[in-house]
Structure 1
């Protein structure tokens, strides 16, 4: 605690500190022909995407370090412009005019699906530098923890291995994720399993989070947000870097990356190798993660061609089940209820009391998940005259792997095995080890045709779409059994295969009708054909055939108030199909899962003042207030229960909504000290919800309808970062996160909930510039400085127990107490 107070005191003293020869750079980007502003132009500092222009064409870089730097400005269909900037204490203005008809940049390939100040939506942009200062080896969701409405959690407790994020209460199954415009979400489960792409953040040049429905995207619909990732930027200068991290729970991260820069003005090659390993905070929750990234590109005046391949391989000990509630409370009476109802054996109950909140249900030494995902992308960006350009991509994702489990006393017949007769004894059960496999291919193509007439720069339009197919085999094998019966090694006991075809087309346009007034329109048609055949592991026939056609319109308007101020409002429709488990894990007698529909209203105010002199010389100010009302029909919400691989089970609710405000702000003073905050206040409700329970005779009992809170949807989420520079090259930051109560099911019952929590982290980065290398950076991240014992995720389920009453059992995912990560990075 003393360390925290000293760090806070040091930060608060920064306001009077000298600028250490660095300060803000701001300016305006315009069209050289018309003089009109260019909103959405990308600003790069030393090859890193560091910002973009607003509706008035203005940009602001709050901190440019001492020394010479290259500032590059790019905009779709314009010549890029390079300027030299010298870091200095005083604020600088830099205005640039771009000439139409420039070399296409990699960013053009993802521009079509990104939001900007003309699209009247809520979004957050992060560049390479933003991600790098957060990247100590934790998974990507943890690098986004300080962005609006985000809640993150980790099965293993420390951010390495399986992690998840929710935005506005929506899990990643409702968050559309793309990499360079190519869908990342699994077409069947809609989940985006970032554990399969460890250290992806080291290869990202820019990232945009859109909240709400947002703009039309390829892949699954955005029902809470979308995450648009780009790795397409070309770094013009050669580079080589290595970064190594060590920390608590024997956590290691080793990364090596390189790039040739632009060779002969035409060719680029970039590569990365990464390994991340951790024992995890939870017992027996280790992760061993490996990945690579490789890109080769060619560019001419009007053409850019780039081949990208990246892959991740993960081996994680299963921590999917979490820990029973008595592990956290130490309540022996409650623990006995778990034993009496077969939730735990007496031996496991004794072990739970010994291991406490770090308890792991599994003890088999290879109770692991093993998966590899290989991605291949070929991108083309082609100029078509002065006003048109085309971005297109072909892609293939190959995924395969299994999770291995020890199963005690399983019925032989359930595995397609005959009972064993030894003497006069008939053996019907056996201990065994099985593997459940996934083996899939995802392939297709995407395109975006962009129109921006130079004679009418106030108008921009895009016609885009995609065709994608997914083939996925699901099967199980028995690799060992105490009584093998008629089985052989790798005896296959179930098999089913799925095929899903998804294609869409969209058209979008923005038009600056008046100098202050702009309008936006976007319409998408999407068709899905899904077929599933075969039997699941419970030997049930899961044959399914479903077709959907969705029409998703969007519209909005913006109004500039002057001096970097803007009002905006939009309306969007989003629809999406159920996921695989909604079909296969539906309780007997339940109606079939229905598609969801969302009407999303967004409206807000933005203020961006890179030269807020009224607050003091060199001060920059940014504020945004966003209101949202997301009205659902047939929303699929989590029941609080999981299937056998940790996937949340869901049910349709006829009417529900999410509404609230998102407040964000940032202020910085000459880069000496900065404060950024975000606060979300929301209501998340189901109308006419009927809770279902069972009595002692196992009869279904349906409660009277009432309005209740949607599961996993906190009413208050906030994040705050205070950062400063007490010494030249040394940056210190305090990061504070708060999340209010979350309910594990839809009954709003406090005994089945996640308690509110607050977490404080502390981060240090110290950059040195010796003569023999370009830079050495030392880093330290102390997570959970106040040593709070908290949980960030959980689940619940109920049934009639030994008492004859319905019992509810809660399981939680405890997060790590105080822990650290220390890093050394070298740039050559």
Structure 2
């Protein structure tokens, strides 16, 4: 306890940290919105049943935040889902291009995106091999979200890879009873623009609905050439009656994104923070040039069929089927590459031996992903029991092509210089129940067994044989209790275990890498009186062989992880909604934490050194946010959104060169709705016009939210061991002051 006390005392040292704590003290935020209490006498909506198996209710002993369609709409001007969740508790977000469009990431409690489970309508969305979530493949998916729940910690059993810090489950648009149309356009800094068209037929003959969306988002990015062109669609056909809901959903998109994952070094950050190394080469005259098509070009299509059936007031079932087809490539210009890299044979040109060449290559992914989910639910006045299972199959090809070369050796068009295949099966069965013991005590139990097999064939892009044949069986129990002290106060405690397999990059870097295990303890207090809400949650996350970010990247920008032995995260999360007046509301949240590797062994100057206890990478000790919301009238709202993230290390050795400075960023958001009563000449066809404005980073903070750090050994005759260790680091700067404005026409 003395160590913990010292950590928390140290958190209060800097002026910025005092400012963040002061902001929190002004009034205690629960993220975007609070889950409204459900009336148990009302019949549960069939749309909501679709995600019931992976969500928790308001009083469950699981730490969570709910985000509604209305919450998202206030800032939905083209930025990705992670950026829209930036002000939730314990969340840190980042974007490669610096302005929220393109490749974005989210860390919750310091845990990497690979350890955040994401489902869409209960279907796993994480990439089966990398375990990451690439929101860029689903541009403007935020415009088709009905609601979203973010669970912190292990959370409840879910489909797909297990949650190791958070889970995000998304419910897409519900069936609309009324017909509508929507045209939304926005534009802003860095030539960013979003164009969206949505429609619904409403219920035809009281049973059938067709709805859809087309979107296009473009941005040049804050970073040089970090452009994005995101096209996406969403189409839904539904049949509904009192006890049946059948949905056929097709959605997906194509992204063409100029790469910005190299980052920049400290010197470039100080002198030219928007510089992008991607595509750089030297022409025959010695001039620096940039290849104009150093891009990801990837398409992904999702086909889902959902059948929800209610048999009576006690029994209901769900069946979900999914097929996802993904394909695309990363195109790259390479200067003076060795023939051996591609298996080329040496050439003789004008009597000289040629074994290097300039070339353009494409690294391809072509994959198929199949999912079957099924659940059954029984509930009465005292028990809510769900049991079911999920099976998924992934079949992915990895291959590379040289599409142009100055000296092509013996290759032909479409030749593959590397070729590999991966197969992954994931089977899980679970049973979970909420049991109301009496008027004050409710019990929660959750058991899951998960079996994973992963096989690879062929070779990697480095022409190295890559064969993995692994099988894992995990048992993940969870239990909790909720105690209602009175109508205003409730307390909860939960324990959950999670196990998680390594990803493809982990196996490439270390074929003997081990799965990670987490024991998560959560203790919380929820207080609600009138419009005032206060939540406090303490967590202790104890890891065995946690796969932490080493700070290094592979040659295509994937973060390299390593087992850290025993480690832990211990923290306190506070959030509240404080109505100061009927028009002014304060919504702050804050997380204080300590995140440690218990023992860290590193190679330093040719010797193995034990650094003892060190900080876990990318785990700031203080994260705080607040929203000051002023709503002078029903259809007009302004908000000042503030975010503070404490200093953090990009590696696990506490090396000062790996430190990211703390930052404090403020955004200003305004929304105004003009209803058809205000525009009488248009009321025959127009329901409303919504004006939205967002100014990000209003105080022009020059900050960095992400980066990488690594080490390398080199020969040094002056070193006692003959070897010295050097270090390298890269930084991803985020945009200075920028804006987005939008207009939405609702019919």
Query: Which segment drifts farther, 231-240 or 737-746?
Result: 231-240
**8 Å contact 2:629–2:638 — kept in the other structure?**
yes
Matched with 2:730 is: 811
Task: Give the distance between the partners of 1:802 and 1:152, measured in 2 at CA.
Answer: 39
TM (norm. structure 1) is 0.82
Matched with 1:124 is: 65
How far 1:50 moved relative to its partner?
A: 7.9
Q: Does 1:626 align with 2:532?
A: no
**8 Å contact 2:586–2:626 — kept in the other structure?**
yes
Task: Give the distance between the partners of 2:634 and 2:169, measured in 1 at CA.
Answer: 34
Matched with 2:300 is: 373
**8 Å contact 1:107–1:232 — kept in the other structure?**
no
Matched with 1:556 is: 480
> 1:144-159 counterparts in 2 under 5 A?
144-159=85-100
Q: Does 1:481 align with 2:376?
A: no
**8 Å contact 2:635–2:674 — kept in the other structure?**
yes
Matched with 2:348 is: 421
1:825 to 715, 737, 744: 744
Q: Does 1:604 align with 2:524?
A: yes
Q: Structure 1: which 5+ runs fail to align?
A: 1-11, 13-48, 58-72, 76-96, 352-360, 612-619
Matched with 1:210 is: 151
**8 Å contact 2:77–2:740 — kept in the other structure?**
yes
Q: Does 1:782 align with 2:695?
A: yes
TM (norm. structure 2) is 0.91
Find the residue that maps to 1:704 and give its secondary structure.
strand
Q: Deviations over 1:763-786 (max 9, x none)?
A: 111111223121111111100000
**8 Å contact 2:35–2:58 — kept in the other structure?**
no
Task: Give the distance between the partners of 1:465 and 1:414, measured in 2 at CA.
Answer: 44
> 1:744-823 counterparts in 2 under 5 A?
744-769=650-675, 770-771=679-680, 772=682, 773-800=686-713, 805-823=724-742
Q: Deviations over 1:286-330 (max 9, x none)?
A: 000010001010012211111001011100001010112111234
**8 Å contact 2:281–2:291 — kept in the other structure?**
no
Matched with 2:616 is: 710
Matched with 2:8 is: none
Matched with 1:594 is: 514
1:522 to 421, 446, 451: 446
1:253 to 190, 194, 197: 194
How far 1:149 moved relative to its partner?
A: 0.3
Task: Give the distance between the partners of 1:214 and 1:132, measured in 2 at CA.
Answer: 26
Find the residue that maps to 1:235 and give its secondary structure.
coil
How far 1:407 moved relative to its partner?
A: 0.7
Matched with 1:81 is: none
How far 1:346 moved relative to its partner?
A: 10
Matched with 1:273 is: 214
Matched with 2:10 is: none
Judging changes above 3 Å, is the alpha-carbon distance between structure 1 residues 362 and 497 closer, same or farther for their aligned structure 2 residues?
farther
Task: Give the distance between the partners of 1:293 and 1:345, measured in 2 at CA.
Answer: 40
Query: Which segment drifts farther, 322-331 or 130-139?
Result: 322-331
Judging changes above 3 Å, is the alpha-carbon distance between structure 1 residues 762 and 53 closer, same or farther for their aligned structure 2 residues?
closer
Q: Deviations over 1:472-523 (max 9, x none)?
A: 0000000000001101223210000000000100000111111101111000
Q: Deviations over 1:402-434 (max 9, x none)?
A: 010001111112212111112431111111100
Q: Deviations over 1:587-608 (max 9, x none)?
A: xxxx711011000000110012
Q: Does 1:403 align with 2:403?
A: no
How far 1:557 moved relative to its partner?
A: 0.2
2:547 to 632, 636, 645: 636
Query: Which segment drifts farther, 789-798 or 725-734?
Result: 725-734
Matched with 2:432 is: 508
Judging changes above 3 Å, is the alpha-carbon distance between structure 1 residues 451 and 135 closer, same or farther for their aligned structure 2 residues?
same
Count of residue correspondences: 700
How far 1:726 moved relative to its partner?
A: 3.7
Q: Deviations over 1:618-647 (max 9, x none)?
A: xx1011000000000010111110001111
Task: Give the distance between the partners of 2:227 and 2:622, measured in 1 at CA.
Answer: 32
Task: Give the distance between the partners of 1:757 and 1:51, measured in 2 at CA.
Answer: 27
Task: Give the distance between the partners of 1:502 and 1:740, measured in 2 at CA.
Answer: 38
Find the residue that maps to 2:163 and give its secondary structure.
coil
Task: Give the distance between the partners of 1:346 and 1:774, measured in 2 at CA.
Answer: 57
Task: Give the distance between the partners of 2:329 and 2:282, measured in 1 at CA.
Answer: 30
Task: Give the distance between the partners of 2:414 and 2:571, measured in 1 at CA.
Answer: 53
How far 1:649 moved relative to its partner?
A: 0.5
Task: Give the distance between the partners of 1:371 and 1:385, measured in 2 at CA.
Answer: 45
Task: Give the distance between the partners of 2:312 and 2:695, measured in 1 at CA.
Answer: 53
Aligned CA-pair RMSD:
2.3
